[in-house]
Amino acid sequence: PPHPLVAASILSADFGRMEQECRDVLDKGADLLHLDVMDGHFVPNLTMGVDMCRALRKHFPHTYLDVHLMVEHPAHFVEMFAEAGASLFAFHAEVARPHRRHDGVKAEALIERIHKLGMQAGMVINPATPADALEPWLEELDLVLVMSVNPGRSGQRFIPDVLEKARWLRERLGPHQRLEMDGGLNGKTSQQAVAAGVDVLVTASALFGAEDRKSVIDTLHAAGDV
């Protein structure tokens, strides 16, 4: 398979030195930055929001900013993230209808708004959510993100059961649609992910916690070579 992209999840970066941290991993070969937005409701944690996106866009005008929204009401934030320079707006299937009935996000309309605002659109599934939950929207999406840990924090263990869902999705996605995996990825689990059809590898703790970040990025880029 072709080399996967490496998405650096800044959740494990030193927040007091965010610009240098991002510059460091981008210089060492990371392809894009992954921003984990949490609202304290969809997941019991708070992380970063629109202002972080805007600040990174200012310092990194040409970098792809992948915004992963672990929030109950993603539709509230579309315009804000577009204005703040997000490249991709990815929201969870678990907050969309028909899963979440009356108060659920109308995913079709949301995807359309994301595109109208010039962003790419992604949808995300938790480890417990079946892949076919995405079926109604699959064709409209630029990217599908399969969570390989339960969202909420960095540094958790990879859940191998999700590989089957990645294979199922890869079979149904076109060549220009990306398949991303997020959570617990390291050299070994990334090989399994890429073999299952994943082409964007998100990494937080394994990258920012490493002594030699360049070699981590090189290893992930080579995850399909074996």
Active site residues: 36, 182
- Shortest approach of ligand DX5 to residue 183 CB, angstroms? 4
- Give the residue closest to Zn ion by C-beta: 68
- Asked if 183 interacts with ligand DX5 (CB under 6 A), we say yes
**CB closer to ligand DX5, 151 vs 224:** 151
- Count of residues touching Zn ion (by CB under 5 A): 3
Assess contact for 16 and 209: CB atoms under 8 A: no
- Asked if 49 interacts with ligand DX5 (CB under 6 A), we say no
Helix (H, G, I), strand (E, B) or coil at 14: coil
Which one of 1, 44, 130, 155 is in contact with ligand DX5 (CB under 6 A)? 155
Q: Which stretch binds ligand DX5 (CB under 6 A): 16-24, 75-83, 147-155, 210-218?
A: 147-155
- Shortest approach of ligand DX5 to residue 67 CB, angstroms? 11
Assess contact for 102 and 66: CB atoms under 8 A: no
Token readout for 205 is 């703790």
- Asked if 48 interacts with ligand DX5 (CB under 6 A), we say no
**CB closer to ligand DX5, 129 vs 176:** 129
75-83: Cβ within 8 A, 24+ apart: 75/105, 75/110, 75/113, 77/37, 77/50, 78/110, 78/113, 78/114, 78/117, 78/119, 79/117, 80/50, 81/50, 81/53, 81/119, 82/114, 82/117, 82/118, 82/119, 83/54
The beta strands (E) that lie in the chain are given as 5-9, 32-38, 64-70, 88-92, 120-125, 143-147, 178-182, 200-203
Assess contact for 100 and 94: CB atoms under 8 A: yes
| Per-residue binder mask for Zn ion (CB under 5 A), 177-206, x = binder | -----x------------------------
Find which of ligand DX5, Zn ion, none residue 4 binds, CB within 5 to 8 Å per kind.
none
Q: Which stretch binds ligand DX5 (CB under 6 A): 57-65, 111-119, 145-153, 160-168?
A: 145-153
Residues 28-87 close enough to bind Zn ion by CB under 5 A? 36, 68
